[in-house]
Structure 1
Amino acid sequence: MQYKALYREHRPEIFSEILGQDHIVKILRNQIATDTVGHAYLFCGTRGTGKTTTARILAKALNCTDESGGEKPCGQCANCQAISNGSFMDVIEIDAASNNGVDNIRELRESVKYPPSIGRKKVYIIDEVHMLSTQAFNALLKTLEEPPENVVFIMATTDPQKLPQTVLSRCMRLDFKRVTADVIMGNMADICAGQGVEITDDALRLLAVNADGSVRDSLSLLEQCLSAGEKRLDRDTVLEFLGAVPEEFYLELTEKVLTHNISEALIMLNSALQEGKDVKQMMKDWMAHYRNLLITKYVKDPEDMLNMSQDNIVALADQSAKIELAQLNASITTLAKAINDARYSTQARILMEVVIVDLATGVEYGQPAGQARPARVMSTGSPAISMPARKSAPAQKPKATSQPDAGAKPSSAGADAGADQAQTVGNDAGSDVQPQTSAQPQTTAQPQTTADSAADLEDIWREAFEMGETVKPSLNTMRRAVLSEMNDKEFKVIVDSPVFKSLLEKDEQLICQLMEKQTGVRRRMVCKLKGQEADKDEDGKLDEMAQQATDVLGFNVEIK
């Protein structure tokens, strides 16, 4: 007999065998018993929760020939067996991922006109229905709204938000929940008992956590462990087969970081990688460890939330007591950024090592040592975006900006209050009272334009391309550009290669949208090569000199 995978061998055949979806089973059972089955269903939920399996069981119930008066489907009659084997003519399964064109839907529309050949109902199961094209959905609408009397549509999807509203409104939507860890553990324990394998609760809990609510994933992981032929499975054995790292590793690694023992932490990482562990998975698990520390810090009895042994929970509680909330938040944020960067990097190990060093030294990830991340200040009233100027110290008062010239006659308002106002201009930038003198006073504080402004622009640009990479991976070309200037109408980026310049200009609309999300203002992009920008700066200086000469001499001056 041909070998079947565990998830196929233990696939439910009747309603009572479905795991963790009692709310859906109750609805379908009642509709079968009262003969009020709808003409179109939409099964939504994450992978491995039983959408396709439930669709097949519903098809069996509609065509079951059992007359004993028991619950349908019986799972034993000829029709139920044929549907299980995939040989029943009146149950048609369609993979919308590979049959997503309008021509495929037109063929379906033609086939629904014919009555069932064997059973009472003709059932169409359309899997991954969100993959259909817009034209295919439009072609399906009329048939979906008014199908023939003996036709039932059952559509399954993991992304219901991608379906048109016109399709959603024509279906009965049933949402499949993630199956709880306790239900998954009980199912795996029964399978292991049936195969004569002893498995510990800790091993079951570890498999259930890694399955993340998916019954199919849990059985695939269990099959991987059973394939070794072991008669007893404990937590350490499962960790070895899964290539995962135990919780104790992250407890010790975090302790090294807290005590600033960078050397030992890096050695621990190297040892784990030499054992064949996946560095990207380690980054995710380490962030999950910091999340567990956050939970144990505030939840009194976190056993149900964490799904781990009591010994590990006690160790987590002890470690979380040593960490301040701000440090926990910073660690989780740092790891989240590193995980995002590792998605498109071939050197994920280096990123992990950088994270260890940054967390141990307090340096912010992605920033030079000793440099704090600057606060972003948006100023919509000024022509450029920059950091606000710091207030001058009391000793740094404006030099004679409000003092009238010796030979000039002060105005009536400026003569009386000039001295007092000269003292308040430097310290009170919000004052509306200004001295009237023959010379124009300089009462406006100048913003800083060196380190603060450059750091602020760099911060805005970095957040824009990080967001862009999640939308369109090819936008990582933004990393090769530098945001040099920004005003209320445009922002200027500098690149050092014509190739990257053309790639950025190709994605100009998307980049402008990303910058609008960061700054709140829609601007156009100006992209320049590095050499071109230098030439333009030189020309601007010459033009400025010519204008100054024109103002002094009284006639037009041109510098060639």
Structure 2
Amino acid sequence: MENFIVSARKYRPDTFQTVVGQASITSTLKNAIKNRQLAHAYLFCGPRGVGKTTCARIFAKTINCQNLTAEVEPCNECESCQAFNSNRSYNIHELDAASNNSVDDIRNLTDQVRIPPQIGHYSIYIIDEVHMLSQAAFNAFLKTLEEPPKHAIFILATTEKHKIIPTILSRCQIFDFNRIKVSDIAGHLGYVAKSEAVEIESEALNVVAQKADGAMRDALSIFDQIVSFSGKSITYKDVISNLNVLDYDYYFRLIDLFLKNDIPGSLMLFNEILDHGFDGHHFISGLSTHIRDLLVCKDPITVQLLEVGGEIKEKYKTQAVACEQEFLFGALGISNECDMQYKASQNKRLLIELNLIKMAQLTLKKK
């Protein structure tokens, strides 16, 4: 039986060009290599799953490549690149600070730093989750970071920059990695699906991308989960069923009921949502997001802020035309207030029902 490789590993970027959603950082790193303006220490920080460690590895590989391409990418043919690809490079060293965070671990590292590289010009030390180092380990690392040998480059990666002492921060070039946009994640998932001969609807891709919350690794893990559930043909319904996501259709129906001042219909629809096992807080939060999305559709300038695609985007535009701005502002204020009061409420269902009644009466006042 063939070994299964998860998509997050199988499609892990191996060149700057294949890194998704971090163009400003990759172009800066490429220019540093091209112009030979390499700092001795870099700090890559940002949320999980956005490409910090991946970029550190690509950067390390490219620095020592002996035949860089015209686009400043590794050639994958020279001895240095081949050694890196087969995990036998003596020039690139990785340390996981989560499990190697003592003074002795750092002293072993600093002893190793003195040894010049066998192939290439630089020895690169990647320290992942660097915020996990103990205070004593940070102090032991300071001197080496301040005055390293010419052949040593340190790349530190962390999800919690605020935990790193200022004396370390001041010695590094700091790169802040952003959460990846929904459109970029959906586009990359589409490429992965095509490579794996998986048919998936564009609306389904958008749901997965939104669920990932800006982390590509999470998006690929969710994609693998959906493929296991649905096979090689994935629909929007499959995704919302597997991920327990509330269907957009409920919110579209609810807004239509509000516009008709249909209070009984609104309450019955909310009851149907609860019967499907959805949490009330999750529902009211989703309703706020839906009303916000209708608001951004009211203006051609802000419509680009809508992070959905395909048929659902057209449904938003159609419903936005039917809603007056005054109604949307009022409904958004009510749903937001309900969201804030939810945790403190003793009768959570009644709280949401009262707010649904208020929203259903917003257009009644004008009549």
> What band does the TM-score fall into relative to the shorter chain?
0.7 to 0.9
Return the TM-score normalized by structure 2: 0.83
Q: Which residue of 2 aligns with 1:268?
A: 272
Once the two structures are TM-superposed, the CA of residue 359 in structure 1 deviates from its matched residue by: 1.0
Residues 155 and 250 of structure 1: CA distance in aligned 2, closer, same or farther (over 3 Å)? same
Paired position in structure 1 for 2:3: 2
Is the 8 Å Cα contact of residues 39 and 153 (structure 1) preserved in structure 2? yes
Aligned with 2:351 (options 342, 355, 359): 355
- Name whichever of 350-359 and 253-262 sits farther off: 253-262
Q: 1:147 to 1:326 in 2, by over 3 A?
A: same
Rounded Cα–Cα distance in structure 2 between residues aligned with 1:266 and 1:49: 36
CA displacement at 1:357 relative to structure 2: 2.5
Would the alpha carbon gap of residues 336 and 81 (structure 1) be closer, same or farther in structure 2, given more than 3 Å must change? Answer: farther
Shift of residue 121, structure 1, vs aligned partner:
2.0
Please say which of residues 313-322 and 282-291 is displaced more in the overlay: 313-322
Higher relative contact order (CA closer than 8 Å, sequence separation 6+)? 2
Instruction: Tell me the distance in 1 between the aligned counterparts of 2:293 and 2:352.
Output: 18
Counterpart residue number, 2:151: 150
Tell me, in whole angstroms, the C-alpha distance in 1 between the residues paired with 2:149 and 2:245: 53
Describe the SS at the equivalent of 1:46. Answer: coil
Contact 2:280 2:349 in 1 (8 A): no
- Deviations along 1:289-320, one digit per CA (max 9) or x if unpaired, are 24334434x63454421223211332255356
Give ranges in structure 2 of 5+ residues lacking alignment.
360-367
Amino acid at match of 1:299: D
2:328 counterpart of 1:332? no
- Does the CA-based 8 Å contact 1:265-1:356 persist in structure 2? no
For the residues of structure 1 that align with 2:253 and 2:230, how far apart are their CA atoms? Answer: 32
- AA aligned to 1:307 is E
SS in structure 1 opposite 2:100? Answer: coil
Alignment correspondent of 1:417: none
Amino acid corresponding to residue 23 of structure 2 in structure 1: D
In the alignment, residue 126 of structure 2 is paired with which amino acid? I
Show the counterpart of 1:64: 65
1:341 and 1:147 map into 2 onto residues whose CA distance is 55
Q: CA deviation at 1:141?
A: 1.4
Please give the alpha-carbon distance, in whole angstroms, between the structure 2 residues aligned to 1:87 and 1:305.
46
Are positions 1:100 and 2:101 aligned together? Answer: yes
C-alpha separation in 2, matches of 1:232 and 1:96 = 41
Q: For residues 226 and 242 of structure 1, what CA distance do their matches in structure 2 show?
A: 12
Cα distance per residue 1:9-40 (max 9 Å; x no partner): 01111122112222222222222223221110
Cα separation, 2, equivalents of 1:220 and 1:281: 22
In the alignment, is the contact (CA less than 8 A) between 2:288 and 2:332 conserved in 1?
A: no
**Structure 2 residue 151 is the aligned partner of structure 1 residue 189:** no
**Match of residue 215 from structure 1:** 216
Equivalent residue for 2:304?
304
Cα 1:70–1:235, aligned 2, differ >3 Å: closer, same or farther?
closer
Alignment of 1:375-386 (within 5 A): none
Find the aligned partners of 2:20 and 2:328 in 1 and give their Cα distance: 41
Whether contact under 8 Å (2:61, 2:74) holds in the other structure is yes
Residues of 2 paired with 1:249 and 1:322: CA distance? 22
Q: How does 1:29-428 map to 2 (within 5 A)?
A: 29-66=30-67, 71-253=72-254, 259-261=262-264, 263-273=267-277, 277=278, 281-296=282-297, 299-300=299-300, 302-308=302-308, 309-319=313-323, 321=325, 323=327, 325-338=329-342, 352-360=348-356
**Alignment-mate amino acid for residue 196 of structure 1:** A
Alignment partners' CA distance in 2, 1:313 and 1:268: 26
Tell me how far 1:172 sits from its aligned partner: 0.9
| 1:98 CA drift (Å) | 2.6
Q: Deviations over 1:125-181 (max 9, x none)?
A: 111222223332222211111111211100112222332222111111122223233
Taking structure 1 as reference, are residues 279 and 139 closer, same or farther at Cα in structure 2, changes over 3 Å only?
A: farther
Cα distance in structure 1, aligned partners of 2:341 and 2:136? 39
**What's the TM-score once normalised by structure 1's chain length?**
0.57
SS in 2 for 1:174: strand
Identity %, equivalent residues: 34
- Provide Cα deviations, 1:408-445, integer angstroms capped at 9, x if missing partner: xxxxxxxxxxxxxxxxxxxxxxxxxxxxxxxxxxxxxx
Residue 11 of structure 1 is matched in structure 2 by 12
Counterpart amino acid of 1:191? V
Asked if 1 retains the 8 angstrom alpha-carbon contact of 2:56 and 2:155, the reply is yes
Deviation string, structure 1 residues 180-223 (Cα, Å, up to 9, x no partner) = 33322222222222222222222222222222322222222222
**Counterparts in 2 of 1:134 and 1:315: CA distance versus 1, 3 Å:** same
**Aligned-partner Cα distance in 1 for 2:155–2:269:** 53
**CA–CA distance in structure 2, aligned partners of residues 26 and 306 of structure 1:** 28
Structure 1 pair 351/323, CA: closer, same or farther in 2 (3 Å)?
A: farther
Contact 1:331 1:359 in 2 (8 A): yes
Question: Which amino acid in 1 is paired with 2:305?
Answer: M
Partner Cα separation in structure 2 for residue 215 and residue 2 of structure 1:
23
- Secondary structure in structure 2 of the residue aligned to 1:153: strand
Q: CA deviation at 1:240?
A: 1.8
The alignment partner of 2:197 has SS state of coil
Is the partner of 2:229 in helix, strand or coil? coil
Instruction: Note closer, same or farther for the CA distance 1:333–1:139 as it changes in structure 2 (3 Å cut).
Output: farther
Residue aligned with 1:227, SS: helix
Deviation at 1:264, TM superposition (A): 1.0
Paired with 1:285 and 1:353, the residues of 2 have a C-alpha distance of 16
**Superposition CA RMSD, Å:** 3.0
Higher mean C-alpha deviation, range 316-325 or range 39-48: 316-325
Indicate the SS of the match to 1:213: coil
Counterpart of 1:24 in structure 2 is 25
* 8 Å CA contact 1:45, 1:177 repeated in 2: yes
Give how far 1:333 is off: 2.5
Distance 1:355 1:255 in 2: 21
Q: Which residues of structure 1 form unaligned runs of 5+?
A: 343-349, 364-560
2:186/2:206 contact within 8 Å kept: yes
Q: Secondary structure at the match of 2:101?
A: coil
Contact preservation (8 Å) 2:91, 2:119:
yes
Measured after TM superposition, the shift of residue 332 of structure 1 is: 0.8
SS of corresponding position for 1:228: helix
Aligned length: 351
